[in-house]
A and B are shown apart, each in its own frame.
Chain A
Amino acid sequence: MEWTIVVGRYNPEGTIEGEPEPPPPPPYTNAVRKTYQTFTVDLPKHAAVLDGLIYIREYVDESLVVRCACRSAICGSCAMWINGHARLACKSRLDAVAVDGRVTVEAAPSMGVVKDLVWDQSPFWKKHLDAMPWLENREPIPEREYTVPNAMMENLIQEVSCISCGCCLMDCESFAVNPDFLGPHALAKAYRYADDPRDAATTERLRRYSAPGGVWDCTHCFECVSVCPKGVAPLDQILKLRRMAVEAGFTDNNGARHADAFAESVRHAGRLDELMLVPKSNGLFNIAANLRELPGAWNLLRAGKLFSMFRRPIPGVQRIRDIFKKVGGRFGGRQEADKIEAYDRPYHRL
């Protein structure tokens, strides 16, 4: 079958017509001028985008560069933008992603470009390192293996399955506006160690992840869940970390206060109190921060969005309060209560 592959190319040493000077060397940026080159390749129906790129690199244009190794979604090398979404080229079958036999690939615009499809991975690995990605052993270290229930090990397989391809970070909405956000991959890794029953540094970890740039900076856009090729579902892990952090008492931050205010408003009135949500998230007595919100409040007022203080609880609010009471807990419920309990329980008592 004939496929059209459009490749967004960038050569840091090449000159682009009309520009006498070659673009500057690293630090890498995503503000590069790509040229889109069209290749036509003849490949079977079940071939992957990567097969097409390898074919081009081997037989059409040897100067095309793409990172790849295993070809089977294990090594995590070939993450790129395919038709505008982060994907692994090896796991994307042409017949599944091509539109009218045509597919466009390029380095994700959220990442610095080194050359063609090769992107600068150093920010990705910096975040990995910042997540403190190693076990701090619980003492005493046993002579043999730690004795732990298999369920607690299997609980971590989802995060251990992460192949560090970078798809989640490429399409992360929070990272797009805040480069300091630790990112979905690093937080999934963070959860993997924080909820390991053999780890002794859980408190230190949760303190770290509760800081700005940590778990509360995620905006729940679900991009990381939908683009992850290995089903790691980083957002789920971020939510688990939030629960663990709050349980451990790390509540003195906007994120935890926001969640509290949100829950409290719904419990009390059966609906959201937009007026109080912001100051409660900032902290009621955080005058400076709340003053900074005034222009926004003014806009809300003009849009007719700021009158909830006069609203009464919705009819039948008692039933909502009953629900809260029934599920218990700080936010009225722990969906994965068993897992959290497992974490609370020191392993040596098992």
Chain B
Amino acid sequence: MFLVPGGPGYPSRLEPFYGGAPPLLYALGNRDLLDVPSVAVVNSAQPTRDGLGYTFALARRLAEAGQTLLTSPENPSYNLVGLGGKLAGAQAVVVMHHGLLDALTRHGTREPLPLARQVGEEIDFARTLLVSPFRLDGRWQKGNGPRRDALLVALAATLVAVEVNGSGTVQSLCQKAQSQGRRVFVCQFAAPPAAGVVNDALIAAGAAPWVPDSVGSNIDLLLAPPASPPAAPSAAGDLERRRALGQFFTPRAVAEFMWGMIDALGAEKLEPTARIIDPACGDGVFLRAAVERGGRDPATLFGVDIDETLVPLWRAEALLQGAKLFRANGLVDNPAIGLLEGSFDVVVGNPPFAGQGLKPLLQLVEQPTVKPTAAQLDFFGVGDPPDQRAKANGASALEPHRRAILDDLVRHLSRYACWRLRDAADDGLDPAVEPPDGVRGLFADLDLSPDRNLRAADYQTMAGLIAHWPSGRPLDVAQPAMRNAVRRMAATAIEVYFIERCARLARPGGMIAAIVPESILASDQLGLLRLRLMESMQLLAVVALPQKVFSGVVANARTGIIFGRRYTAAQQREVEAAQPVGQGCRLPMGMVKKRVLMVSPQTDYPDWSLEGYLSNVLEIAVQKIGLIAGDERKHHE
């Protein structure tokens, strides 16, 4: 069919994009696809291998979420978009890089994207529209690429640029789309993935930052309706949302106090180039306080938060210009943004507590469980993925893109120790789920009879199995062991994960300063967590905070601040070789007598105030640390 500018069926969004002179289009297939909002995922020429990986993952998630994708047959990036889409059965608008007749003469109705032919050789015209702006019999020639890219971007309601090179077609198209009010997301990296990549400049010019990863976890930002962009948080309106996120912003005085303590407790002076991270940074109060202390390059400051409404705040904050702030899950490693364990000199912050935590993981186990038939069993004896089984049996299942993101989160969390540390006696099996007959497979060595309580060792085995589950295969949550592991992870408080995360993010010898609820400090149930933490970091000080420090958000929790230093590699070896101290953790003899400063408030003191208390603690800390150092010197002599 011909689509004539201004004529019936011609996509209205093209006219402003082409400045009133849009091209004549030749199309074949499902014309209706031009009327639905579609998404383009683009790269400049020669993207990196990681960039291609992010492109494929994102395309697949978008397709699973029912989005219509824009693609083209020619380059690897578009091919991966097409492949991701076809694997998930998505609708696609394929923009040809040459004439439509030429394409059909050469290939007939064969799938035009070489990579997508792995999934199906023929074009499914119910799901596909081929579009070309080129003369019907026109062959490929130099200059077609930029025209093809322009049409692809012009047709997109949402544009996601993964890697954009300076002074290239994609950069100018992104700028043009942005100037016309289109939704433009640009991947945000900790450092340019290759020379000449100018993503940061596009973001600085107003494009929305989008953090990529291997599963497209941030897809929710792209799926949000365009008419309701995330609003900046208001003082009162979003209180409930903040509570659900366990988000209690820290008073400035507390953040400044923590930096004072880090300086006082640090064995060595903090270098201006030291890498600092707040893994749940909220409004960035700790990073702002670090900048205000002076002499620090903002590029050394990293902040991560899962709340997308904070992004406008970060961008508007003058003190945070140049800092690396990302909308991502602080519990999950992500090489794209440099969020990796053992890579930060200081980990500081006030991680979330209470709220809904990781309860969304329960969606995985709330799916209908369907026994696999013999035909659905595979070589490993674990059966088809449960969502496929559920579909085959007519039961509703979790949306595939949500499923994939939750799966990925479970795989990451399986590496944490905290969820499997507690005594298992209080946590029984799910009696409703029996191991399917003959489907023990990978779990054959686990005794999962409902009569037996699970032990920590069982959780350890489960964690290993999840971590080694084939990467392309959804976790089989119909397996009782898997269900129990997921339930256990979901039931573990988010602050528990975050405190372990803080210790993991610090480099050997790095400092950790975190505000934690009193349960972390005192709960019997979390005793094993404390012992484990003490085997990975030297506790230096604990400062109890009075109740209602976070009263601005109506949070009454009692909290404390822990200060610690992750053991160096040599110290860690000593700890691992040491014997447990009494009923406690393993500590080398040289550490047993190390003093820890414990401070608590006496709020009945006349004229007691938080600011006065913190300033007093800092003063005392400096004196006591001097005394401790003196004692230790004497001890060595």
Q: Decide if A and B are genuine partners.
A: no
Interface of A toward B, CB cutoff 8 Å: none
Q: List chain B positions with a Cβ less than 8 A from chain A.
A: none
